A and B are shown apart, each in its own frame.
Chain A
Amino acid sequence: MGKSNVFDLLGPIMVGPSSSHTAGAVRLGAMAKKILGEEPIEGTITLHGSFAKTGKGHGTNLALVAGLLGMSPDDERIPEAPKMAKERGLNFNFETSDLGDVHPNSVKFNLLGVNGGRVQVVGSSIGGGSIVIREINDFQVEIKGDYPTLVVLHQDLPGVVAQVTLLLSTAQINIARMLVSREKRGAQALMVLETDQRIDNAVLGLMRKLPRIDQALVIESLE
């Protein structure tokens, strides 16, 4: 971690009671929604560890739904989130389970979107409201939501990574961090690129037309 600043020590402005169980949970829900890329209408939310044990008293379930509805950690409607979801016909169910060797404050979302998209996301609240997304559709990732992030599902063949990075460099987009993981050699792979500049729809459109790219998604940074 870098040096702290005055606003790390006074802030965030948030709805309590806990920065990791409440503020972080809102951000996890918001991030899962961004990864789905559309309005979630249905979902199963699985709580792990401390989220499962003390989430109820910290309003973690309310906060996760608030995030899925697009609220931020200082939104005073967070306690009303489940009611608001119900009114809009959105259906989110909670389960508790052991998600294995992950951070104690972790959650798994299985979401269905309004346009039929589905995604499975695992994320952790790692303290002070900070979060990290650990898994998207069983692929290991590490997304903290502090940069615009490009997620590309592609075939594991030579040159695919180069095509993507060339397209970004042509669009004057600088890559801050990059991670490539795959199921096995030659099979499906996932690329996660955090960038300094926003990636607009035109670039995303070109990306999707590239050969051997199955899916490309831009996740905007959290505020």
Chain B
Amino acid sequence: MRAYEDWVIKAETKGLKISEVILQNQMEELEQSEQALFQRMNKNLNVMRKSVEVGLSGERRSLSGLVGGDAAKVESHRKKGESLIGEQMSGAIAKALAVVEVNACMGKIVAAPTAGSCGVLPAVLLTVEESLQVSEQEILLALFTAAGLGMIFADRASVSGAEGGCQAEIGSAAAMAAAAAVELAGGSPRQTADAAAIAMKSMLGLVCDPVAGLVEVPCVKRNAIGATIALSAAEMALSGVKSAIPIDEVIDTMAQIGKQMSCALKETAQGGLAVTPTGRRIQADFL
């Protein structure tokens, strides 16, 4: 089974970034050139940028009417200089909401790792891009870091809400985004592992309880919170804070918790917020 630790050690020994180790690994496994892999990743990045832009600009409603317009509210609050938690954090929240609103309104997004968790990674990376001087090439490399860590989640646990609950979707996304943000901010390979572990630890046990079975409530706002957890974890790791439990063990724990979780709490809409009086009413009105 793959382990993130192996990549950290390889990167440290050879003086490489984690993303460079993952890139080499994928060139071998997919038998594709570096250029071809970059081109494919660049398509993802372009769609991510576009989904943020589209989501921040409009006030569309989803088919159910439950979702839409919140990204614009946060962005406008931020632009008035009224942010409580600072420009960057507020911007990350707006961007995450934007992407998932585009998703709920049948717009184009990149599943990262899933459609239900598509807001976290673009929000975090584009927020770091606004704060720090980084090149396009570095952002693409950071996407390889995120995706490479995602592969470990898929191998050792799962990124599906139906299998692991929301911890497997937005939790994985937050860990992937935290590792990518650390690399983008110039952190070490070890620090990417610490950030990922800290982020995932904060998402453990998160249930998947979509109201009326739709990827809307509570999913959209959870993406925004996932983005802030990713940035907080990255900030800690970059400051030298370590995770007491290593990332691979945290991922195994997530898998274990997913198994222990009742099926009612794993995307079946039979537990959690989906069965609150309001959740049931929305479902009845809607179906």
Interface, chain A (partner B; CB < 8 A): 3-19, 22-23, 50, 53-54, 56-59, 62, 74, 76, 78-79, 127-129
Q: Given the complex, which residues of A lie within 8 Å of B26, measured CB to CB?
A: 5-6
Asked whether A57 and B286 contact (CB < 8 A) given A8-B154, A14-B115, the answer is yes
What is the chain B residue whose CB lies nearest that of A78? B106
**CB<8 Å pairs between A and B, sample of 13:** A6-B26, A6-B144, A6-B150, A8-B151, A9-B112, A9-B154, A10-B44, A16-B108, A53-B287, A54-B212, A78-B106, A79-B106, A129-B111
Q: Given the complex, which residues of A lie within 8 Å of B148, measured CB to CB?
A: 6
Whether B150 contacts A59 by the Cβ 8 Å rule is no
**Interchain nearest-CB distance for B128 vs A (Å):** 17
Taken together as a complex, chains A and B put the C-alpha atoms of A79 and B107 apart, in Å, by 9
Query: Which of these, A5, A18, A53, contacts B29 with CB under 8 Å?
Result: A5
Asked whether A13 and B154 contact (CB < 8 A) given A5-B30, A6-B144, the answer is no
Q: Given the complex, which residues of B lie within 8 Å of A74, measured CB to CB?
A: 108
Query: B113: CB under 8 A from chain A?
Result: yes
Asked whether A17 and B108 contact (CB < 8 A) given A6-B151, A8-B154, A50-B213, the answer is no
Q: Given the complex, which residues of A lie within 8 Å of B22, measured CB to CB?
A: 6
What is the chain A residue whose CB lies nearest that of B286? A57
Q: Given the complex, which residues of B lie within 8 Å of A18, measured CB to CB?
A: 115-116, 215
- Counting chain B CB atoms within 10 Å of each CB, the highest count among A8, A11, A56 belongs to A11
Q: Given the complex, which residues of B lie within 8 Å of A127, measured CB to CB?
A: 160, 162
B residues 150-182 with Cβ under 8 Å of A? 150-151, 153-155, 159-160, 162, 176
Q: Given the complex, which residues of B lie within 8 Å of A12, measured CB to CB?
A: 110-111
Taken together as a complex, chains A and B put the C-alpha atoms of A5 and B40 apart, in Å, by 12
**Interchain nearest-CB distance for B11 vs A (Å):** 16
Q: Given the complex, which residues of B lie within 8 Å of A7, measured CB to CB?
A: 40, 44, 147
What is the chain A residue whose CB lies nearest that of B67? A17
Taken together as a complex, chains A and B put the C-alpha atoms of A58 and B143 apart, in Å, by 28
Taken together as a complex, chains A and B put the C-alpha atoms of A129 and B144 apart, in Å, by 22
B31-57 vs A, CB cutoff 8 Å, 1 = contact: the mask equals 000000100110110010000000000
Asked whether A9 and B159 contact (CB < 8 A) given A16-B215, A50-B213, A57-B212, the answer is yes
Whether B44 contacts A57 by the Cβ 8 Å rule is no
B residues 249-271 with Cβ under 8 Å of A? 269
* B interface residues, tally (CB under 8 Å): 53
Asked whether A10 and B103 contact (CB < 8 A) given A17-B215, A54-B214, the answer is no
Interface, chain B (partner A; CB < 8 A): 2, 22, 26, 29-30, 37, 40-41, 43-44, 47, 62-64, 102-116, 118, 121, 143-144, 146-148, 150-151, 153-155, 159-160, 162, 176, 212-216, 269, 286-287
Whether A11 contacts B111 by the Cβ 8 Å rule is yes
Q: Given the complex, which residues of B lie within 8 Å of A129, measured CB to CB?
A: 111
What is the chain B residue whose CB lies nearest that of A62? B106
Whether B214 contacts A58 by the Cβ 8 Å rule is yes
What is the chain B residue whose CB lies nearest that of A16? B103
Whether A19 contacts B115 by the Cβ 8 Å rule is yes
Taken together as a complex, chains A and B put the C-alpha atoms of A7 and B43 apart, in Å, by 11
Query: Which of these, A10, A15, A19, A59, contacts B63 with CB under 8 Å?
Result: A59
Taken together as a complex, chains A and B put the C-alpha atoms of A10 and B103 apart, in Å, by 15
Q: Given the complex, which residues of A lie within 8 Å of B113, measured CB to CB?
A: 9-10
What is the chain B residue whose CB lies nearest that of A63? B106
Q: Given the complex, which residues of A lie within 8 Å of B63, measured CB to CB?
A: 56-59
Q: Given the complex, which residues of B lie within 8 Å of A14, measured CB to CB?
A: 108-111, 115
Query: Which of these, A6, A10, A79, contacts B110 with CB under 8 Å?
Result: A10
Asked whether A16 and B107 contact (CB < 8 A) given A6-B26, A9-B151, A9-B159, the answer is yes
Taken together as a complex, chains A and B put the C-alpha atoms of A62 and B212 apart, in Å, by 18
Taken together as a complex, chains A and B put the C-alpha atoms of A15 and B115 apart, in Å, by 9
Taken together as a complex, chains A and B put the C-alpha atoms of A196 and B108 apart, in Å, by 31
